[in-house]
Amino acid sequence: MVNPEIKIKYLYHSGFRVETSKHIFIFDYYKGNVDMGDKDTYVFSSHGHPDHFNKEIFQWQKQKPNIKYILSDDISIKQKKGNIFVMSPYDEIKVDDVIIKAFGSTDLGVSFLIQFLGTNLFHAGDLNWWYWSQDVPEEIKRAEILFKKEIAKIKGESIDIAFFPVDPRLEHNYCVGADYFIQEISPKVLIPMHFGDNGETAKQYAEKMKDSPTRIIDIAEKGQELVLD
């Protein structure tokens, strides 16, 4: 990571605002306060689940006409305009000076790897090892196979910052996906997400991984901000 400063604001659940010297990236907004700022703005929605997507994002272009939207292809759009880019898994596009790669998900939609100013940032969306203890053994094994197959496609990518689920609904399996992602991908920084109002889950994971070479940052309070340099 060569970018001198990146500001990250936690919006809610899997929603983040990431600001660089040139850009504002907004990921999986569905509620929270967002400052549009005066920089080039790119809004990402990994899929159409209501905890990852809110059509309110399209109202933002009234105050910021040059805003760009990068959406998973499962999201229904009545009228596709020139500032809307629709991506399927394994697509790659360049929007201005930002390179965007879409990877798969183990639920719906895509995950995003974006490259900007010498930095690689990954947002997992709903890509996770969905290990539900109540599932039958065949379902548990299938979830493992699907997840590891997707991670294998990402392996080899250099990732500086990753936003990745640690879902407390999975109970004691809440971090099996994040653990495997770190093991296989080795991001420099991992920021837990997808925990709703249960911010303690992020803190718990940061404590568990305090000796990991990957730095875990528990940004868990709505509106909380941090600066990476």
Give the pLDDT band (50/70/90) at residue 74: very high
Residue 78, CB-side half-sphere exposure with 13 Å CA sphere: 2
Length reported for the chain: 229
Q: Is the pLDDT of residue 172 over 70?
A: yes
State the Cα–Cα distance between residues 39 and 81, nearest whole angstrom.
Answer: 21
Mean pLDDT of 72-90: 92
Higher pLDDT among residues 80 and 228, named by residue: 228
Q: Is the pLDDT of residue 3 over 60?
A: no
210: tokens are 């305090």
Q: Is the pLDDT of residue 78 over 90?
A: no
C-alpha dist (Å) from residue 76 to 49, 59, 149, 212: 11, 16, 27, 40
State residue 1's pLDDT score.
Answer: 54
Architecture (CATH level 2) of domain 6-228: 4-Layer Sandwich (3.60)
Please, what is the Cα angle at 190 between 187 and 196, to 5 degrees? Answer: 150
Give the pLDDT band (50/70/90) at residue 164: very high
Mean pLDDT of 147-175: 97
Give the pLDDT band (50/70/90) at residue 4: low
For the entire predicted model, the pTM comes to 0.96
State residue 220's pLDDT score.
Answer: 84
Question: Is 200 in a helix, a strand, or coil?
Answer: helix
Question: Is 171 in a helix, a strand, or coil?
Answer: helix
Contact between 91 and 12 (Cβ < 8 Å): no
125: tokens are 């969306």
Mean pLDDT of 115-142: 96
Mind listing the pLDDT tens digit for each residue in 5-43?
A: 999 999 999 999 999 999 999 999 999 889 988 999 999
State residue 32's pLDDT score.
Answer: 87
DSSP string, 5-32: -EEEEEEETTEEEEE-SSEEEEES-SSS
Mean pLDDT, rounded, of the chain: 95
State the Cα–Cα distance between residues 48 and 34, nearest whole angstrom.
Answer: 19
What percent of the chain is modeled with pLDDT above 70? 98
Give the pLDDT band (50/70/90) at residue 229: confident
Q: Is the pLDDT of residue 2 over 80?
A: no
